[in-house]
Amino acid sequence: MAAPPHRVTVLALDGVYAFELGIPARVFGSADGRYEVVTCSADGGPVRTNADFSITVEHGPEALASADTVVIAPYDLALTDPGLPGPVADALARIRPGTRIVSICTGAFALAAAGLLDGRPATTHWALAPRFRELFPHVRLDPDVLFIDDGDLLTSAGAASGVDVCLHVVRRDHGSEVANRVARLCVVPPWRDGGQAQYIEQPVPEPSSAGTAATRQWALENLHLPLTLSDLAGHARMSLRTFARRFHDEVGTSPGRWLIQQRVARARQLLESSDLPVDRIAGEVGFATAASLRQHLHAAIGVPPLAYRRTFQAAAAR
């Protein structure tokens, strides 16, 4: 008998951002029935958005008690009471211990106000970092990343990073192939590392200047090669210094770190979808040795290759 779908309950608070409110249903709802997504409010009533309309949701706070994952949608801080309003505190108290909780953007403010982030790493929109630090000094805030996965608590930055963190959850639950299929259906990038910078000073190069997109695509097609910064700069026909600067401007991280991220992502796909030995996979993705692959995979997700493979083989067998 097939397992019931994983239940995701999205909590819409007063002043909710309508665009981000729809992200969980769009992403999780594209995963071939693996998730059931419901939306609730803190008191069961209509919810005012940050735009010129309100919304009516089908569920009240009781939906939180049956959730496997709770998503706190972001809301306009200027449109709600400071701190934690009583109905919101009561609603959050309904969440069962051990339930996975995800916040998007300002949703982290509600979690922090409830004390759920004390002593834990978290992120929120970079522009709100000073206010967050002032209100919640006991939270280990990192405003420079797209999202943070701290096990049962995940926090993300603004708008698009809500898509990133939901795709990350799908990948964590069901592997890269399912997450990539969901990304294709949603027409979004299949993977952005949580540690990627939130704020990129020059995300789009000037029309008259050459970018690094073509070189990044070439690198992805040649991950099996021992690519160096010189190789990448040479392909882009730039000096090392110019290429490194322009790459960081466009991607938000260094070429070396980006390459490792792509090699690890490809290794994960091969571990999930093939029976290739670990040393063969290491060669396929450009790591010099199996030991190097183990080191980087463990640094990225905390488990060695064979344990990672067993997790998804077991999931596929269920």
Tens of pLDDT, residues 92-119: 999 999 999 999 999 999 999 999 999 9
Model confidence at 312, pLDDT cuts 50, 70, 90, reads confident
| Residue at token pair 């972001």 | 74
The mean pLDDT value for 200-204 works out to 52
- Report yes or no: 43 and 35 within 8 Å, Cβ to Cβ: no
pLDDT at 1 over 60: no
Residues with Cβ within 8 Å of 301's Cβ and at least 6 positions away in sequence, in order, are 268, 308
The per-residue pLDDT for 188 is 84
CA-based nearest residue to 213, from 247, 185, 166: 247
Distance CA 13, CA 113 (A): 14
Once rounded to an integer, what is the mean pLDDT over residues 75-102?
Answer: 93
pLDDT of 227 higher than 80: yes
pTM of the predicted model as reported, rounded to 2 decimal places: 0.78
CA-CA distance, 13 to 21, in Å (whole number)? 10
Sort 240 into a burial class: Cβ within 10 Å, 0-12 / 13-18 / 19+.
middle
Q: What tens digit of pLDDT does each residue of 17-38 get?
A: 999 999 999 999 999 999 999 9
d(CA 158, CA 20): 9
pLDDT-based confidence at residue 209 (cuts at 50, 70, 90): low
Alpha carbon of residue 260 to chain centroid: 18
What number of other Cβ atoms are within 10 A of residue 225's Cβ? 10
Residue 208 has what pLDDT? 46
Q: Residue 311 above 90 pLDDT?
A: no
Q: Select from 277, 301, 281, 311 the least CA-distant residue to 293.
A: 281
Q: Which whole number is the average pLDDT over 176-187? A: 89
